[in-house]
Structure 1
Amino acid sequence: MDHAIGIDILQRRRRRHLAGALALAVLFGAVLWGANRALRPGVGAADIVVAEVRRGDVDNTINAAGVIIPVHEEVVSSPGASRVARVHAKPGQQVGAGELLLELDDREIRLALEAFKEQLAQQDNRVDVLALEMAQKIKQTRSSIELLEIDLQSARARHERNQKLRSSGLVSGEDLLTAQLNVQRNEIQLRQQRELVEDTRRATAGAIAAARLQQAILHKQIARQEGLLAQTRVCAPFSGMLTSLVEEEGASVAAGQLVARVSELNNYRVEASLSDFHARQLAPGQPVRVAQNGAVLAGTVRTILPEIQNGSIKLLVDLAQPHNPQLRNKMRVDVDVVTARRAGVLVIDKGAAFNGRGRQPAFRVDGGMARKTVLELGAGDGKVVEVAAGARAGDRFIVSDTAAFKELDTIRITN
């Protein structure tokens, strides 16, 4: 015989059915949520950097590595092979113009100088001797000329007398001829003696000229040795900072070896190095931005050095503030050379998501989603980059590294 089911039993069954249906709904929702997570990967908002496209100005720049160098720097070299005799200064100290830095051994230079001075004294003596000998020879010759002039007068008088006597038949023709020949002989001897005076002068003048030439050569050699002697006392060429010095007393130095370097204080420029790939884009006068520890200094390209070493080219940059107190010798800085400027264009902050110029993928952020699109990027200055096509002002893009999801078309952005 059938019995009626109690109300409490029916209620328990109904509660079990409701609990089962609720559990199935929760399970179905969890499955849907898991499937959505699997099909649409996400990234945390804190793990990405998002920037907005906006209107602005952008410079096309070329980055280079730079080092601060003095505008005026002078090196002092050893005048010859020597050794350091005494050191009077230390690298890093400020020195005044003409201040003694070190002394080099000067014994060999002094010996050479004394030898040249002795040779010069010999040449001086030779000139004096030649002049004295010439004066004596000319004096003797002139005495001979005076005697010959008297003999000539006597021979002429005798010849004239014989001519008169010949007309009277008192002198033979032979005596007359002899008197005439005596006159001619005296005239020839007198002419020879006069020529001897000039020959003596010319010969002596040539010997004296050769001696004076040797004197001039010795004077130059002495001046050179005196210059080398002065260089053994190494002094500061101008007031500045002593940046380099051979400090060890007794150390050997070769001819031409650098022994000291003095740099001008608080007056600097920049020497920048970059790949020769950019050589055609560089030109003197281009504006430059020099950055160091957050500070940015303006400058201008002064000179592009013609030599290329190991694929790198160097240029010198004049600073608008060469006396800036933050600058230090040999300080390393970042240099941006501005090759072109564009104003009022669409720009976006530079980030790891972008690589140079041209067409490249990017993720546009819209609400909680980021969808892949293609941007045409143009000039960049290291901080912002031009958006030539593919976006409008106000669009937002992920600018941090997107390599982890570069193969996806859509990603979710979670809080």
Structure 2
Amino acid sequence: MDKAISKEERQKEFKKKIIKYSIIGIGIGIIIVILISLMRSSINEKDLSLSTVDKGVIEVSVSAAGKVVPAFEEIINSPIDTRILEVYRKGGDSVDIGTPLLKLDLQSTETEYKKLQDEEQMRSYQLEQLKVNNKTKVNALAMQIKVSAMKLDRMAVELRNEHYLDSLGAGTTDKVREVELNYNVAQLELEQLKQQYEDDQQVRIADLKVKELEFNIFRKSMEEMKRTLNDAQIRSPRKAILTYINNQVGVQVPKGSQVAIISDLSHFKVDGEIADTYGDRISTGSKAIVKVGNEKLPGIVSNVTPLSKNGVISFSVQLDEDNHKHLRSGLKTDVYIMNAMKEDVMRITNSSYYMGKGEYELFVLHDNEIVKRKVKLGESSFEYVEVLSGLDIGDQVVVNDMTNYRAKNRMKVK
């Protein structure tokens, strides 16, 4: 006969099965957790740039694209229609004031200038001749006046004599009237000569002034040609770097065409462009920050174009340290123009994630995980972005580029 199993033994066997199945269940649960943990996306902590939300001041700014250019750059144009005969320097050379750059064909211009010199001499002689003629004619009129005055004096004596003879009965009334008439006519002729003298003198003075003015105008045009001729001797106007030169010997260069450019590559400024919708936020004298790599160079807006072109306003920034070692001509930069101040606002570090006011989805660090959160951002400076909602003081926010993880809502930080 089979032996009956006691109740204690059955309970022991039941407990063993429970323990066995519990261990198996716990093991399966651990395996599932491990698998879930392995399946969840993760990111290295060293790949994250974190910014802690705090409160402080934001110098509100607008950002623009900029380009480093020489602080001084002068374009040298040909002052005449000519051709290039010789080239003395090449691009990249350092030049001093007066350094010859190239030689232009000046033969026709020099010939024209020599003709003007001859004409100047001729006009000078003509002017001297006019002065002598005027003096001669004026002196002749003055002499006629003196002669007429003497004649008038003689007639006055004759008239007195005739009146005296007539009073003695030795003269006649007709003779007195004749002498008196001649005296009056001579008096009128003298007055006429005096008036002619004054009028002729004024006319000759005015005519001389006109001729002198014409001569001065001619001299000015001649001086202008001389200046043009000097300018055609293409020389460096200052100490700088020759960044461009037309080195095609024999080529025709029309008047006003560019033949060389010199630049001061030891000092720089930044030329920027910004959408005209921000035109009311930028003005001459505005504080600006130019970001060159990791360097932030302060400056001020020195010039703003008054008109928009293709929806863009151009401006220039004069840097406080315009000879900074990181500045290079042609270097692209970010420019931030300050236009307002906000105090006691929540803020996070400005970085490439920020594209202007609006709603964003940013990752926030929490218990070794980064969790996506909807955040509303406001104004910005070159350093900080204003937080309007979605974050609290002390939150650590990922501020580097997370474009590759935009489909993720949660990631583990390793």
TM (norm. structure 2) is: 0.74
Hey, what does 1:213 align to over in structure 2?
Answer: 213
Provide, for residues 34-89 of structure 1, a one-character-per-residue CA deviation record: whole Å limited to 9, x for no partner.
9x869x96213349748464547685554332211222333333323333343332
Per-residue deviation, 1:246:
2.6
Hey, what does 1:74 align to over in structure 2?
Answer: 74
Matching of residues 265-280 of structure 1 within 5 Å: 265-280=265-280
Look up the SS of the partner of 1:272 in the other structure. strand
Hey, what does 2:179 align to over in structure 1?
Answer: 179
Hey, what does 2:229 align to over in structure 1?
Answer: 229
Evaluate the alpha carbon distance shift between residue 139 and residue 371 of structure 1 in structure 2; reply closer, same or farther with a 3 A threshold: closer
Per-residue deviation, 1:356:
5.0
2:62 and 2:380 in contact (8 A); partners too: no
CA distance in 2, matches of 1:149, 1:340: 90
Instruction: State the identity %.
Output: 21
1:123 and 1:214 in contact (8 A); partners too: no
Hey, what does 1:11 align to over in structure 2?
Answer: none
Evaluate the alpha carbon distance shift between residue 77 and residue 182 of structure 1 in structure 2; reply closer, same or farther with a 3 A threshold: same
Look up the SS of the partner of 2:317 in the other structure. strand
Hey, what does 1:89 align to over in structure 2?
Answer: 89
Hey, what does 1:301 align to over in structure 2?
Answer: 301
Q: Which moved more, 1:121-130 or 1:315-324?
A: 121-130
Provide, for residues 142-196 of structure 1, a one-character-per-residue CA deviation record: whole Å limited to 9, x for no partner.
5555555555455445444444444454444333333333333443444444444
Equivalent residue letter for 2:236:
A
CA distance in 1, matches of 2:395, 2:147: 125
Per-residue deviation, 1:271:
1.4
2:54 and 2:394 in contact (8 A); partners too: no
1:270 and 1:317 in contact (8 A); partners too: yes
Evaluate the alpha carbon distance shift between residue 218 and residue 75 of structure 1 in structure 2; reply closer, same or farther with a 3 A threshold: same
Per-residue deviation, 1:95:
1.4
Evaluate the alpha carbon distance shift between residue 345 and residue 141 of structure 1 in structure 2; reply closer, same or farther with a 3 A threshold: closer
Hey, what does 1:327 align to over in structure 2?
Answer: 327
Look up the SS of the partner of 2:266 in the other structure. coil
Evaluate the alpha carbon distance shift between residue 360 and residue 125 of structure 1 in structure 2; reply closer, same or farther with a 3 A threshold: closer
Per-residue deviation, 1:117:
3.4
Equivalent residue letter for 1:252:
Q
Q: Which moved more, 1:217-226 or 1:101-110?
A: 101-110
Per-residue deviation, 1:240:
1.6
Matching of residues 12-411 of structure 1 within 5 Å: 33=32, 42-46=40-44, 49=48, 51=50, 53-55=52-54, 59=58, 61-141=61-141, 144-145=144-145, 148=148, 151-152=151-152, 154-338=154-338, 356-362=356-362, 364=364, 366-367=366-367, 372-379=372-379, 385=385, 387-392=387-392, 395=395, 401=402, 406=407, 411=410
2:53 and 2:396 in contact (8 A); partners too: no
Per-residue deviation, 1:397:
5.9
RMSD over equivalenced CA pairs, Å: 4.2
Which structure 1 residue ranges, 5 or more long, are not aligned? 1-17
Hey, what does 1:6 align to over in structure 2?
Answer: none
Look up the SS of the partner of 2:218 in the other structure. helix
CA distance in 1, matches of 2:382, 2:144: 102
Per-residue deviation, 1:235:
2.4
Per-residue deviation, 1:96:
1.3
1:358 and 1:376 in contact (8 A); partners too: yes
Q: Which moved more, 1:85-94 or 1:349-358?
A: 349-358
Provide, for residues 283-338 of structure 1, a one-character-per-residue CA deviation record: whole Å limited to 9, x for no partner.
55554443334433333333433332222222322223212233222222233445
CA distance in 2, matches of 1:221, 1:402: 68
Q: Which moved more, 1:157-166 or 1:311-320?
A: 157-166
Per-residue deviation, 1:233:
1.5
CA distance in 1, matches of 2:169, 2:223: 81
Per-residue deviation, 1:362:
4.5
Per-residue deviation, 1:134:
3.6
Provide, for residues 209-229 of structure 1, a one-character-per-residue CA deviation record: whole Å limited to 9, x for no partner.
222222122122122112212
Hey, what does 2:12 align to over in structure 1?
Answer: none
Per-residue deviation, 1:263:
2.3
TM (norm. structure 1) is: 0.74
Evaluate the alpha carbon distance shift between residue 395 and residue 92 of structure 1 in structure 2; reply closer, same or farther with a 3 A threshold: same
CA distance in 1, matches of 2:68, 2:368: 48
1:134 and 1:200 in contact (8 A); partners too: no
Hey, what does 1:4 align to over in structure 2?
Answer: none
Evaluate the alpha carbon distance shift between residue 175 and residue 118 of structure 1 in structure 2; reply closer, same or farther with a 3 A threshold: same
Per-residue deviation, 1:365:
5.4
Which structure 2 residue ranges, 5 or more long, are not aligned? 1-16
